[in-house]
Amino acid sequence: MMDWDFWFETQPLLAICLTVTAYSVADMIWTVTGRPALLNPVLTATTMLAGILLVCGIQYHEYLSHAGPIVDTLPVIVVLLAVPLCRQFRLILHSRGAMVAGLLSGGLVCVVSALIVPITWNSENEIIATIAPKSATTAVAYEISERLGGLSSLTAVIVIATGIFGGAFGPAILDRAGIFDERARGLALGVTSHAIGTARAFQSSDTAGAFASMGMILNAILTIILAPLAYEIAVAL
pLDDT (tens digit, 9 = 90+) per residue, 192-235?
888 888 888 988 888 999 999 999 888 888 888 888 888 888 87
Confidence of residue 188 (pLDDT cuts 50, 70, 90): very high
DSSP state letter for 107: H
**Burial of 56 by CB count in 10 Å (0-12 exposed, 13-18 middle, 19+ buried)?**
middle
Asked if 163 and 136 touch (Cβ cutoff 8 Å), the reply is no
Comparison of pLDDT for 69 and 191, the residue scoring more: 191
Q: Reply yes or no on whether the pLDDT at 1 is more than 50.
A: no
CB 126 within 8 A of CB 151: yes
Alpha-carbon distance of 48 to 205, in angstroms, equals 28
CA atoms within 13 A on the CB side of 234: 29
Give residue limits of the domains in the chain: 4-72, 82-236
CB 16 within 8 A of CB 69: yes
| Residue range 144-170, pLDDT digits in tens | 888 888 888 788 888 888 888 888 889
* Residue 160 · residue 72 · CB < 8 Å: no
For the chain, what is the mean pLDDT? 84
CA 22 distance to own-chain centroid: 19
User: Greatest CA span in the chain, whole angstroms?
Assistant: 64
Of the candidates 197, 188, 111, which has an alpha carbon nearest to the alpha carbon of residue 160? 197
